[in-house]
Amino acid sequence: MTMGSVSESSAVVETRVVHEVHRVATTLLAEAAVRPSVPLDALAQLRDFLVGNLRHHHETEDHDLWPRIVAAAPALATALDGLSEEHEALADALDALAGVNLNGHENDTGADVRAALRDAAETVRGIVHDHLAHEEPLLLPALRDHVSPAAWQDFAQRVIATTPPVAGHLMVGFLDEAGSPDEVELVLAGLPEPVRPLLPAMRRQAADDLRILRGTGS
């Protein structure tokens, strides 16, 4: 799916693509949770990836991106505070999702734990999708109008440097699904140079894991 043209600002393009990753990944976990063919360890990996990345994403918005926007456009402060309140609701849902015990069930069907995972994942999916529908009409114009390319590059580098090291290959795989090759390269441009040679292997691993999660792999 192509999310937009790279002729738009990097901030807008990268944000759109990452948001689409969040939509796709939260939907996948909710759908895969009760699929008996999906091993619990594969579900745990996706769950941990989502919890870590969604928390990090919204914390960096609250504590880094929002202050940059408000400094340039003080009138947006109240609206951004409202988005941060939605982040707090999501944090509670992520705590519940993280609290589903996926260990020690592989000797049976794990039906109860899968149902619990599905319920927690569906809650997170609903909050994330609703939140993005509220956030994007405000945030995308604000990024275009009030965040300079230099400020965005600084923010994006901080985000990459502090991203939790949890199943990073899944982010690469989801990015490839969410954006065009040019858009994905834009998002990944800030990766540390030693990581870049690892991208082909990360893509292969992500493709294998996503097939399993979707019930199309062995």
pLDDT in tens, 48-71: 999 999 999 999 999 999 999 999
Going from N- to C-terminal start, the domains of the chain cover 10-213
How confident is the prediction for the chain on average, in pLDDT?
91
- Residues 6+ away with beta carbon under 8 Å from 37: 215
Q: Which of 54, 114, 122 is CA-nearest to residue 90? A: 54
φ and ψ at 102, to 5 degrees? -100, 10
pLDDT tens readout for residues 161-178: 898 888 999 999 999 999
* Cα-to-chain-centroid distance, residue 195: 19
Query: DSSP secondary structure string, 119-186?
Result: HHHHHHHHHHHHHHHHHHHHHHHHHHHH--HHHHHHHHHHHHHHS--SSHHHHHHHHHHHS-HHHHHH
> Is CATH 3.90.700 what the domain over 10-213 is classified as, yes or no?
no
